[in-house]
Amino acid sequence: MKILYIHNDYHQLSGEEHASGEIVAMLESHGHEVCWFKRSTVGIDNNIGQKIKAFFAGIYNPFIKKEMNNVSSTN
């Protein structure tokens, strides 16, 4: 089975990143083909403008929609 694994990397490395890697490794060990779709919120910092932009992009982001369509059509 082909699986698209979607994940956001945060400012600091946490258990979530470790768990995501373990989940993907487990899926692959069971014969699944996993493709990562990763993004990062590292550049947001404490800038209120960036936080507002990120909030609305989390609701609907036409640029990410286009990227996801490209990823799903090539895999």
State the Cα–Cα distance between residues 1 and 27, nearest whole angstrom. Answer: 10
* pTM value > 0.85: no
The residues near 1 (Cβ < 8 Å, ≥ 6 apart) are 32, 33
pLDDT of residue 72: 66
pLDDT of residue 74: 67
- As a whole number of Å, the end-to-end CA separation of the chain is 11
Are the CB atoms for 35 and 1 separated by under 8 Å? no
Total structural domains within the chain: 1
pLDDT of residue 12: 72
Query: Which DSSP letter does residue 45 get?
Result: T
Per-residue pLDDT of the chain (75 residues; tens, 9 = 90+): 999 999 888 777 778 888 999 999 999 999 999 999 888 777 777 778 888 888 888 788 888 888 888 876 666
Domain of 69?
2-74
